[in-house]
Amino acid sequence: MLKPNLRRTCAALAAGTSLALALTACGGTTKKDVKDDNASAASAGKADPNAATKKGLTVGFLPKQVNNPYFTTADKGGEKAVTELGSTYKEVGPSSATDTAGQVSYVNTLTQQRVSAMAVSAQDPGALCTALKQAMSNGIKVVTYDSDTSPGCRNAFVSQAGAEDLGRTEVQLLAEQIGYKGEIAILSAAQTATNQNTWIGYMKDELKDPRYKDVRLVKIAYGNDDAQQSFQQTQGLLQEHPNLKGIISPTTVGIKAAAQYLSGSKYKGKVKLTGLGTPNDMRKYVKNGTVDAFELWDPAKLGDLAARTAVALASGQITGKEGETFKAGTTTYTIGKDGVINLGKPTVFDTKNIDQFDF
């Protein structure tokens, strides 16, 4: 929580001095923000579905992590769509997936640069809220994609697939591979990551079903979307739990590192691994028998939809309210509860289809 005198200073700064100064002094999160953020921040006013698509906008992309190939692909999809719609694309972001302070300062940078809209994959549900609200109060439209904030801190969230679907299907995939019996672990990304934590919540719920009565989740490890940390965490999981039968890694960085470790160890093919990976990262591990099946959506399509949502918001075609519809390319999307827009269903990749995909 900001101290009262700092709060006053912030208000005075915002009112009387440059926006930049107020942002620097007052960014960050307070507990109160998180509590107040449960209702979606659909923009005020009415949507005009027939409004023309504005050109000449600037759309800033702020991924969780710039040097993560998943975001390189996703944001390229965003860039292509923004350019196609006649606007300017830019990308800023931290190189570590656990640098929430860095993400806050990038939000502030985009706000100071007066972009028309920003698309953000959040490292933490609450940490960016003060900064994002400041952006929205400056007329900037905020779309989260891939990993959401609390709903009140953005206008809409472009979700890669139903979160519940993703969580449950990963458990289903692994349980089938281990014959519904044995110890399993999860190798996640950052401990605060909204998307991974939501999926893990559904995994735990799925595991309550009686058909998993012989499956036991023994540990959730965090590799922070860092290849080396994820590799070491996998090694640690096997050392600590010698009877481990399977690992779910709902992160492209984690699953690749875990596959790399397993593939060079005595556990190859014996300890099963599934989760969310890209076909290009995972092809060789599917072909060499380390991995049977895993899943993902097309990251470029997620970036594309985030860009088109940002432009539709900035053009006044949607405000982020439930029930509004808009056209993105040739598909019409309907905004769901809490301003969530769903890209579609994930694809399961295995030895039969993996060669048909190139991302």
Q: Decide whether 25 or 227 has the Cβ nearer to ligand RAM.
A: 227
Q: What is the Cβ-side half-sphere exposure of residue 97, based on CA atoms within 13 angstroms?
A: 28
Could you say whether residue 64 binds ligand RAM (CB under 6 A)?
A: yes
Q: Which residues of 180-211 are buried (b: 16+ CB within 10 A; e: fewer)?
A: eebbbbbbbbbebbbbbbbbbebbeebbeeee
| Rounded least distance, CB 50 to ligand RAM, Å | 34
| Rounded least distance, CB 341 to ligand RAM, Å | 16
Total residues belonging to the chain: 359
CB count in 10 Å sphere of residue 213: 11
CB within 8 A of 346, min separation 6: which ones?
Answer: 160, 161, 165, 166, 169, 276, 295, 296, 297
Among residue numbers 20 through 59, which ones bind ligand RAM (CB under 6 A)?
A: none
Among residue numbers 314 through 333, which ones bind ligand RAM (CB under 6 A)?
A: none
Residue linked to tokens 């698309």? 119
Could you say whether residue 253 binds ligand RAM (CB under 6 A)?
A: yes
Cβ atoms of 90 and 173 within 8 Å: the answer is: no
Among residue numbers 100 through 129, which ones bind ligand RAM (CB under 6 A)?
A: 121
CB within 8 A of 171, min separation 6: which ones?
Answer: 203, 206, 207, 212, 248
What is the strand order of the sheet 58-62 is part of? 88-91, 58-62, 117-120, 141-145, 156-159, 340-342
Could you say whether residue 276 binds ligand RAM (CB under 6 A)?
A: yes
Q: Decide whether 276 or 311 has the Cβ nearer to ligand RAM.
A: 276
Among residue numbers 213 through 252, which ones bind ligand RAM (CB under 6 A)?
A: 225, 251-252
Contact track, ligand RAM, 152-191, x by CB under 6 A: -------------------------------------x--
| Rounded least distance, CB 302 to ligand RAM, Å | 8
Could you say whether residue 146 binds ligand RAM (CB under 6 A)?
A: yes
Q: Considering CB under 6 A, how many residues would be counted as binding ligand RAM?
A: 14
Which residues in this chain contact ligand RAM in the complex, by CB under 6 A?
64, 68, 70, 121, 146-147, 189, 193, 195, 225, 251-253, 276
